[in-house]
Structure 1
Amino acid sequence: MCGRVPVVSIRESLFVLKERDFGWFFASRFVNLAGSSMSHVALAFAVLEVTDSASALGYVVAAHTIPMVVFLLVGGVIADRFPRRLVLQLSNVASAATQAAAAALIITGHAEIWHLVVLEAINGTTMAMAFPAMQGMVPQLVAKKDLQPANLLLSMSRSTLTILGPSVAAALVVGVGAGWALAVDALTWLLAALFLLPVRIPPRPADAEKTSALEDLRAGWTYFRSTTWLWVVVVAFMVLNAIQSGGLQVLGPAYAKTSSLGVEGWGLANSALAAGTLVMTIVLMRATIRRPLRAGMLGIMAFSLPFFALALWPEKVPLIVAMAVAGAGIEIFGLGWSLAMQENVPDEMLSRAYSYDALGSFVAMPVGQLLYGPLGAWFGERPVFLVSGALYASVCLVTLAVPSVVRLQRVEQPASEGTPV
């Protein structure tokens, strides 16, 4: 029988929440995202309550990031060997404990920087375990025909909370202190673990071949390097994320502070980025992506626009518009990548594939963060922004020239008998 990729409506997107297991998973992710969207602001001001040193804040942030990157591959193996729900629950409880400990130290006035460095290192390690498990759960909870609406709902909650979370965190810091803001984050991690209790995931086949963790890791690498569209996009994002993290996380704010944009303009531009993502999420609920990687790479190419705006027309309105369009492009890529991975990677390999994806995508980010400050000082900010925009767009175009990337199609689903009501 001929198949089709169904057009998704907003009604169908909400209908997927009636799937009991996915509904509880969505609730867990929602409260988890609520806490995570506040934690960066809360942690930054918590560190600054202990010391006024920006370097100390860098140590604490790096203490979270480095072990997360180092242990991602281990996390992928664990998530493919053990029940993903259990892995995610244990990670959530561990994260709740570390944030609660940090909150208690801050509130009681006993916190020292080394305390926060150690706690954030543990937190980063638990995130390395949680990320592959979390990414691999969605295909186990919904049918393939519901992957698009399920991913869009998760993306919508993420976008909304990205807009609201930092403001709520700032209000908590001002109102009751950074320690109590961290305590709220700890509570959300605990609630996320509790909301996973009712979730039931189909058991893995009992006759699956028993292998060692090292063999699993090697099998994941073999799959990764033999799947052309997978490693090509990951290699592309090594470059793209280095440009983005260095250009818009380091050089962009520094340039905005000394230019007519100002801190306020930079803040509005970043809010526009999140708003563009949210708007595109709603648009995609009425659309169908048939070639997910082609659409995704065309979408993410819009992220070159903020660099061109900063280089050629560094004013508030052009930058805000460019960031909003870039946010829309991020959402197109995010959905396209999720569909490509969840529909085409075997379930028993999915978490390992996501761990190699995350490792490749994240590993070059510190390089960009370290390089862009000196590059701006040597050549000037605007020339660096212009070259960055051109390089960003070029990497996207080169990726689109790879046949397996541009030709990858959605897995067709049987035509349904009717629309759920």
Structure 2
Amino acid sequence: MPGTPGAPTGRPEPEAVHHGTCPAGAVVLKTLPPWAGRNYLLLTGATVIASLGSSGALIATAFAVLATGGSATDVGLVAAARTIPLVFFLLIGGAVADRLPRHRVMVAANALSCVSQGLFALLVLAGEPRLWQMALLAALGGTGQAFFAPASEGMVLASVSGDQAGRAFAVYRMGMNGANIGGAALGGALVAAVGPGWVLAVDSAAFAIAAALRAFLDVSGVPERAPGGGMLHDLRDGWREVVSRPWLWAVVVQFSLVNAVVSAAEAVYGPLVAEQHLGGPGPWGLALAAFGVGTVGGALLMARVRPRRLLLTGALCVFPLALPSAALAVPLPVAGLTAIMFGTGIAIEVFAVTWMTALHQEIPEEKFSRVSSYDWLGSLAMVPPATALAGPVQDLVGRTAALWGCSAVIVLLTAAVLCVPDVRRLTRRTSTEPAAGAPASHAAEPDPAGAD
């Protein structure tokens, strides 16, 4: 899913997926919305648990490297070791997830992440791990994520009925974002209290629990997929699905660059501005936390609002993503930056929900994971070179000009995407309208009502 650095309604779903609630849980489920069935609760619970562990583990990994005497460069190398296999295996992961039962791919990927994080924890707790060992285990974790991400995309929306899918996904995102915020805060406190090794061990246990929950998904009503023509055939088929839909490839291209400049601003320029003008890491951490709180607010908003024109609404909400870079370029005081980050978090979460709703509505189920893998690849591929080039660009044009350039790139790309007719016209379908898999041009016909 295109989104900030790290992301699904109308297709009828198998009855066993939507109604897969066990009688023993009927009393509990009466207090929940009617669309929150067994599969939805399992998927949401697994994601919340895994997010709690992973967000804390990101902090623990950096401090584990530093505890061995590693430098900032060493921290970056370990982070890159996770990102490179993630990018390299994404397309393969998407093709595999469309050939095998997706829940099994998710469980296997979680198991790999559990093992890699468990070994990482043992190395840290046992003594002084070497840099190559930490990089290798980080790479294994990235490989697991490369197979997990395309398989998991759309699974939550497939567990609820079409009319309620957007609302269900918003609630799911609210839980995930809240877990990311809480996990980061708890992880930082635990690293200080007991050391990074134990936080990595907790992350390993979280992946084990998440895998167990996903293993209990009821997929008895999901029809078996017809055998494909091989891995390369599936990848070419997924590519054709992407390029045949102008709204899809336009947004993927947009976010390949938007994510890149946002990452450069937040990972490189932001800490430098905070150190020199805002008072150090504390105020910068407060601004980042405000962004996270904003994403929870955006998810809460989308649980209540169902915009008719999905991509038009989402694209307009990308414009505010240019504001944090502009605020750093000025630079604004901490209060102003924090307010902007909060508002940006709300806006980008609205985009995330509308984007996934559109994908789930328009992409055939049997091709969803391979299309998702291209989406993920576009979102991540340009991030490493952008962060690597941020320093040289600053040396060449100055930090202020570089930050204004980041804002300009976001505004210009978003304006260009709005020039694509299908982006402006694609509308949310009701359960009585044609299911996904119809030609994109049909789905993008003008709404007779003429309003969102």
State the TM-score, normalizing by the size of structure 2: 0.86
- Partner residue in 2 for 1:244: 262
After superposition, where does 1:43-122 map in structure 2 within 5 Å?
43-122=61-140
Offset of residue 261 of structure 1: 4.5
**Alpha-carbon distance in 2 for matches of 1:335, 1:152:** 6
Aligned pair partner of 2:425 in 389, 407, 411: 407
> Is it true that 1:298 corresponds to 2:306 in the alignment?
no
> Is it true that 1:268 corresponds to 2:283 in the alignment?
no
> Is it true that 1:174 corresponds to 2:192 in the alignment?
yes
- Partner residue in 1 for 2:348: 330
Q: 1:24 to 1:17 in 2, by over 3 A?
A: farther
- Partner residue in 2 for 1:220: 238
**Alpha-carbon distance in 1 for matches of 2:91, 2:370:** 7
Q: 1:205 to 1:244 in 2, by over 3 A?
A: same
Q: Which moved more, 1:53-62 or 1:382-391?
A: 382-391
**Alpha-carbon distance in 2 for matches of 1:84, 1:272:** 34
Structure 1 counterpart of 2:241, which letter?
Answer: Y
Output one character per residue of 1:166-205: Cα deviation in whole Å (capped at 9) or x when no partner.
1111111111111011000000000001111221125554
Offset of residue 83 of structure 1: 0.4
Offset of residue 332 of structure 1: 0.7
Offset of residue 317 of structure 1: 1.4
Q: 1:114 to 1:16 in 2, by over 3 A?
A: farther
Name the structure where helix makes up a greater proportion of residues.
Answer: 1
**Alpha-carbon distance in 1 for matches of 2:168, 2:395:** 45
Aligned pair partner of 2:166 in 148, 153, 166: 148
SS at match of 2:154: helix
Aligned pair partner of 2:252 in 216, 234, 253: 234
**Alpha-carbon distance in 1 for matches of 2:354, 2:36:** 24
**Alpha-carbon distance in 2 for matches of 1:319, 1:358:** 29
Matched-pair contact (CA < 8 Å) for 2:277–2:331: no
Matched-pair contact (CA < 8 Å) for 2:103–2:151: yes
Root-mean-square deviation (CA), in Å? 2.2
Offset of residue 113 of structure 1: 1.0
Q: 1:206 to 1:373 in 2, by over 3 A?
A: closer
Offset of residue 390 of structure 1: 2.1
Matched-pair contact (CA < 8 Å) for 1:261–1:315: no
Offset of residue 142 of structure 1: 1.6
Matched-pair contact (CA < 8 Å) for 1:303–1:326: yes
Q: Which moved more, 1:278-287 or 1:403-412?
A: 278-287
- Partner residue in 2 for 1:418: none
**Alpha-carbon distance in 2 for matches of 1:150, 1:201:** 19
Q: 1:374 to 1:276 in 2, by over 3 A?
A: same
Aligned pair partner of 2:176 in 158, 163, 170: 158
SS at match of 2:46: helix
Q: Which moved more, 1:395-404 or 1:154-163?
A: 154-163
**Alpha-carbon distance in 2 for matches of 1:186, 1:328:** 31
- Partner residue in 1 for 2:47: 29
Matched-pair contact (CA < 8 Å) for 2:154–2:356: no
Structure 2 counterpart of 1:392, which letter?
Answer: I
**Displaced runs of 4 or more, over 3 A:** 11-14, 202-207
Q: Which moved more, 1:66-75 or 1:207-216?
A: 207-216
Q: 1:110 to 1:305 in 2, by over 3 A?
A: closer
Matched-pair contact (CA < 8 Å) for 1:140–1:202: no
**Alpha-carbon distance in 1 for matches of 2:269, 2:32:** 40
**Alpha-carbon distance in 1 for matches of 2:97, 2:30:** 30
Q: How many residues align?
A: 408
Aligned pair partner of 1:308 in 296, 303, 326: 326
Structure 1, gaps ≥5 residues long: 6-10, 416-421
Matched-pair contact (CA < 8 Å) for 2:273–2:328: no
Matched-pair contact (CA < 8 Å) for 2:99–2:225: no
Matched-pair contact (CA < 8 Å) for 2:312–2:425: yes
**Alpha-carbon distance in 2 for matches of 1:273, 1:18:** 27
Matched-pair contact (CA < 8 Å) for 2:102–2:152: yes
**Alpha-carbon distance in 2 for matches of 1:197, 1:371:** 42
Offset of residue 262 of structure 1: 2.6
Output one character per residue of 1:80-125: Cα deviation in whole Å (capped at 9) or x when no partner.
0000110000111110001000101110105111111111111111
Aligned pair partner of 2:143 in 121, 125, 135: 125
Matched-pair contact (CA < 8 Å) for 2:171–2:300: no
Q: 1:4 to 1:108 in 2, by over 3 A?
A: closer
Output one character per residue of 1:113-169: Cα deviation in whole Å (capped at 9) or x when no partner.
111111111111111000000103223322212211221122101221222111111
Matched-pair contact (CA < 8 Å) for 2:278–2:284: no
**Alpha-carbon distance in 2 for matches of 1:21, 1:233:** 30
> Is it true that 1:137 corresponds to 2:158 in the alignment?
no
Matched-pair contact (CA < 8 Å) for 2:121–2:198: yes
Output one character per residue of 1:248-280: Cα deviation in whole Å (capped at 9) or x when no partner.
211111221122343222111101111111112
> Is it true that 1:378 corresponds to 2:396 in the alignment?
yes
Aligned pair partner of 2:338 in 317, 320, 339: 320
Matched-pair contact (CA < 8 Å) for 1:159–1:274: yes
Output one character per residue of 1:31-60: Cα deviation in whole Å (capped at 9) or x when no partner.
111111111001111111222311111111
> Is it true that 1:390 corresponds to 2:427 in the alignment?
no
